[in-house]
Structure 1
Amino acid sequence: MTCAELLIRLLHERHGVDTVFGIPGVHTVELYRGLDGVGVRHITPRHEQGAGFMADGYARASGRPGVCLIITGPGMTNIATAMGQALADSIPMLVISSVNRRDTLGRGQGRLHELPSQQQTLAGVARFSHTLLDPAALPEVLARAFAVFGSARPGPVHIEIPIDLFAAAVEPPANWQAPRLYRPAPDPDGLALAADWLREAQRPLVLLGGGCVDAPEAARALIERLDAPCATTINAKGLLGRGSCDRHPLDLGANTSLPAVRELAQAADVILAVGTELGETDYDVVFDGGFALNGRLIRVDIDPEQLARNQSTALGLVGDAGRTLKMLLEHFPQPLSRDGVGRTRAVHEALALESDPAFMPFVPLFATLREVLPEAILVGDSTAPVYAGNHLVSQPAPRRFFNASTGYGTLGYGLPAALGAALAKPELPVVALVGDGGIMFTLSELATAIEERLPVVILLWHNAGYEEIRRYMDAHEVPRLGVDIQAPDFQRLAAGFGCAAVKVDTPDGLAQALGTRSTQPLLIEIDAHHWQRQFSTS
């Protein structure tokens, strides 16, 4: 078979890929010959950045790598932003691209789509970037990529194939079965010492990050045995599930940037941090450097370098987060008692998020979503409802709340990532939380939503420009330049795509609109200023 045919067969039959995202081009048409009739669904976005965000949303919702087929040169520079977001959040994404012929690489001859070094350009936003020079090496290179996804800290992997190799004849492998890979486990002695410290602690605290999302049962069981308050990052929302008052009684939420949680963290004598970078956009979104840990910090991460970043580690364990939680649980056959529920309740009473003027307008918004679509996956851009939702929202399960406000922090993520989530989890409703500024980055993906008949709700928060930057400029006495941008008529624009659209400005109107969901996408436009005036205390 040809190298292109072998690539698709390996993806599907060895590595279980059933969906790919890409825009055909003259350099990649041979891949499409290989795609025909093999059982892999091809989704055509309207921009390569959209392809990358769709693959990201697909991976976050499903736990499986998102796969993209991308054209040489501009296709790769277009997808680089999406790869940067996936790299920052450790999301498994395989980007397969074409590149110019082997005999022209690096020669600067002005060939179509030529870059001085495409591989070097993309290496900075990938776990690794590889140029395939021998088609016989393709099974090995793909296996390396899926080893990163399954047994190391995941992220984007880029494999580029020279266009003269796509049609090259290659012998298929004798064995089509993928290797069975296991994730690393922590050192038993270190684990025992960590258990001793946690057992002796008087004021323990647990911090759980996105690395834990595949082990929600172990995470819940461990914090209950430890009787310890637990803060989760944004990517770990839903890990502890919901309790009688909408959240688990030991769940502090993603509120480590707020004073009451910071005080609890500073007073903790032993802190267990699992699968979290302890990074700025989860622990210091006010950007004042005020998140401090004074107690003994136990860190668990699949990436050993993470054990030395951001906070001073007293005990570091290299291992998969889920395996470590399960192994650590065995050290606590009986629950301890340290008034964890009482400590957590006191923090929430001090936070009083629902009566905080900064969050009050968004409380009825998320209450309506929870009432009408309690199982929905919420996918967000960088926009005001998302910033509030990071603090307010509790989800019943992991992989149901993610957005681009953390890590790389790109705009234009929400809509295409929501489409990827809907493709990965068609049995669940999906809501994209976007602003009138951010949606313009990838608005063209409405066409993809219509074409694929994806019943995504696009909740458009219309505040007439870049409100977050406006407020930042005002706070720093900078003239408002470039932020009061003109928006289109989104109702007519949606209709032009063939998308149903409606305007609302009250919770009742939102509930009624959500009740009209069908098998097609629905754009619900919220007049932000009118909505906020109803719930303002001023």
Structure 2
Amino acid sequence: MTCAELLIRLLRDTYGVDTLFGIPGVHTVELYRGLEGSGMQHVTPRHEQGAGFMADGYARASGKPGVCLIITGPGMTNIATAMGQALADSVPMLVISSVNRRDTLGRGQGRLHELPSQQQMISGVARFSHTLLDAEALPEVLARAFAVFRGARPGPVHIEIPIDLFSVPVTAPRAWQAPAIYRAAPDPEGLIQAASWLRSAERPLVLLGGGCVDAPEAARALVERLDAPTVTTINAKGLLGRHHPLDLGANAALPAVRELARDADVILAVGTELGETDYDVVFDDGFALAGTLIRIDLDPEQLVRNQRLSLGLVADAGRSLALLLEHFPTPLQRHGVARTAAALAALDLAHDPAFADFVPFYATLAEQLPEAILVGDSTAPVYAGNHLVSQPAPRRYFNASTGYGTLGYGLPAALGAQLARPDLTVVALVGDGGVMFTLSELATAVEERLPVVILLWHNTGYEEIRRYMDAHGVERLGVDILPPDFLALARGFGCVATHVDDPASLSEALASRPLDGPFLIEIGAEPWQTHRE
């Protein structure tokens, strides 16, 4: 078989890849010769950034790496933004691209799609980027990529294959089975010390991040045994189940939770960066931990970032939670439920002017689509939802307002999530500004007949930046942008679309949504807010 055919066989038969995202180009046609008849689904986005965001959403919803086939040069510069978002949030993504012939690399001859060094350019948004120079090395390089996904802190991996290698004959492997890779377990001595400190704590606090999403049972059991108030970050929403009495949600930047953090004598932080978009979204460096800090993370460097460390365990989050649980056979009594309830009562999120407009918004969603996956862009409903939303399970709420914070993520990522979880309804939460970055992916949704619900919050421009300019005494410029007729655009793509102004109309629209394709619901921000008042 050829190198291109071997690549497709390895992805399918060795690593269980069933879906690929990509736009064919003259440099990648040989990959498509290997793809025909493979049984794998190929999804064609309308832009390579859309391909990357779809792969990201697919990975977050399924737990499996999203895989992209990308053209040399402009395809890679287009997908780099999506890779940056995936890198920031530790999302497994495999980007396989073409690159110019081996004998032309780095020679600056003005070849089609040529970059001085595509591999060097993309290395900054990848766990690693590798140029394949020997077709026989392909199985080893792919194995390295999946070793990162399965055994280390995940993120994007890039493998580029020179176009003259695609048709080179290669030797098939003797066996197609992937190696079994187990993540690191915590050091027993360190675990004993961590358990000792947690056992003697009077005011413990637990911080759970996206690294814990595959261990909801262990996470829930441990915080209950510790009787500890628990922050679940945006990427960890649903980890404890909906409205768990110890769940503070993703509210670490708000005063009552910050007070709990300052007062905590022992803090256990698992699978979380302790980064500002989760703990300091007001950007004043006000989240402070004065107590004994225990951190568990697959990345040893991450253990010493952002907060002063007392004890660090380099280990898998899920395995660590399960082993730590064994040190607490009976529940402790630390008034955790009461402390959590008092903090949430002090926050009073439902009556906070910053969030109140969206309380009926999310109440309507919870009533009509209680099991839905909510995928968001950087937009007002998402900023509020980060604080308001409680989900029944992990991997059902994620967005681009954290980490890299790109625009245009919500719609294509929701399509990827729907492909990964056809058994669940997926809702894309987008704004009229951000959706314009990737609005063309409506065509992909229609073509693939994906029943994604798209809630478009229409406030005629970049409202978040408008407020920021106003607050800092900067004259508004570039934020009051001219919106298109979104309903006409959606219908032009073949997407059913409607407009609503209040919760009752939204509820009615959701109840009558089509199930054989996308449905765009435009929400007038001003009448919605006026109606609430």
User: TM-score normalized by structure 2?
Assistant: 1.00
Partner residue of 1:146?
A: 146
Residue-by-residue CA offset, 1:181-227 (whole Å, 9 max, x unaligned): 10100100000000000000000000000000000000000000000
Residue 57 of structure 1, CA deviation:
0.0
Partner residue of 2:363?
A: 367
| 1:282-431 matches, cutoff 5 A | 282-431=278-427
Residue 349 of structure 1, CA deviation:
0.5
Match 1:503 to one of 476, 499, 504: 499
Partner residue of 1:125?
A: 125
User: Helix, strand or coil for the counterpart of 1:389?
Assistant: helix
User: Helix, strand or coil for the counterpart of 2:72?
Assistant: coil
Residue-by-residue CA offset, 1:144-188 (whole Å, 9 max, x unaligned): 000000000000000000000000000111111100010100100
User: Helix, strand or coil for the counterpart of 1:168?
Assistant: coil
Partner residue of 1:93?
A: 93
Are residues 1:39 and 2:35 paired? no
User: Helix, strand or coil for the counterpart of 1:27?
Assistant: coil
User: Helix, strand or coil for the counterpart of 2:260?
Assistant: helix
Are residues 1:30 and 2:27 paired? no
Are residues 1:279 and 2:269 paired? no
Residue-by-residue CA offset, 1:475-516 (whole Å, 9 max, x unaligned): 011011000000100111111000000000110100000011
Counterpart code for 1:68: C
Are residues 1:527 and 2:524 paired? yes
Residue-by-residue CA offset, 1:417-468 (whole Å, 9 max, x unaligned): 0000000000000000000000000000000000000000000000000000
Residue 534 of structure 1, CA deviation:
2.2
Are residues 1:492 and 2:488 paired? yes
In structure 1, runs of 5+ residues without a counterpart are: none
Distance 1:229 1:413 in 2: 32
Residue-by-residue CA offset, 1:335-360 (whole Å, 9 max, x unaligned): 00010000000001100000111111
Distance 2:225 2:183 in 1: 25
Partner residue of 1:468?
A: 464
In structure 2, runs of 5+ residues without a counterpart are: none
Counterpart code for 1:100: N
Partner residue of 2:17?
A: 17
Partner residue of 1:235?
A: 235
Distance 1:236 1:484 in 2: 34
Distance 2:453 2:83 in 1: 25
Distance 1:380 1:516 in 2: 22
Distance 1:161 1:128 in 2: 14
Distance 2:173 2:348 in 1: 61
Distance 1:99 1:404 in 2: 29
Distance 1:124 1:357 in 2: 40
Distance 1:263 1:201 in 2: 17
Distance 2:360 2:240 in 1: 23
User: Helix, strand or coil for the counterpart of 2:165?
Assistant: coil
Distance 2:500 2:530 in 1: 14
Match 1:249 to one of 245, 249, 259: 245
Counterpart code for 1:130: H
User: TM-score normalized by structure 1?
Assistant: 0.99
Partner residue of 1:72?
A: 72
Counterpart code for 2:463: E
Partner residue of 1:174?
A: 174
Partner residue of 2:52?
A: 52
Number of residue-to-residue matches in the alignment: 532
Counterpart code for 1:95: V
Residue 127 of structure 1, CA deviation:
0.1
Counterpart code for 1:87: L
Distance 1:438 1:93 in 2: 23
Mean CA deviation greater in 93-102 or 526-535 = 526-535
Distance 1:336 1:165 in 2: 61
Counterpart code for 2:116: P
Residue 532 of structure 1, CA deviation:
1.1
Partner residue of 2:262?
A: 266
Instruction: Kindly report structure 1 stretches of 4+ aligned residues shifted beyond 4 Å.
Output: none
Distance 1:340 1:382 in 2: 33
Partner residue of 1:7?
A: 7
User: Helix, strand or coil for the counterpart of 1:444?
Assistant: helix
Distance 1:294 1:474 in 2: 35
Distance 1:525 1:254 in 2: 27
Counterpart code for 2:41: R
Residue 396 of structure 1, CA deviation:
0.1
Distance 2:342 2:406 in 1: 35
Residue-by-residue CA offset, 1:82-107 (whole Å, 9 max, x unaligned): 00000000000000000000000000
Counterpart code for 1:217: E
Match 2:446 to one of 445, 450, 453: 450
% identical aligned pairs: 80
Residue 36 of structure 1, CA deviation:
0.4
Mean CA deviation greater in 516-525 or 17-26 = 516-525
Distance 1:380 1:287 in 2: 21
Distance 1:171 1:163 in 2: 18
Counterpart code for 1:144: R
Counterpart code for 2:300: P
Partner residue of 1:110?
A: 110
User: Helix, strand or coil for the counterpart of 2:439?
Assistant: coil
Distance 1:468 1:408 in 2: 17
Partner residue of 1:205?
A: 205
Residue-by-residue CA offset, 1:359-407 (whole Å, 9 max, x unaligned): 1100000000000000000000000000000000000000000000000
Residue-by-residue CA offset, 1:32-72 (whole Å, 9 max, x unaligned): 00000011100000000000000000000000000000000
Distance 1:103 1:516 in 2: 59
Distance 1:39 1:85 in 2: 29
Counterpart code for 1:106: G
Distance 1:40 1:522 in 2: 26
Partner residue of 2:455?
A: 459
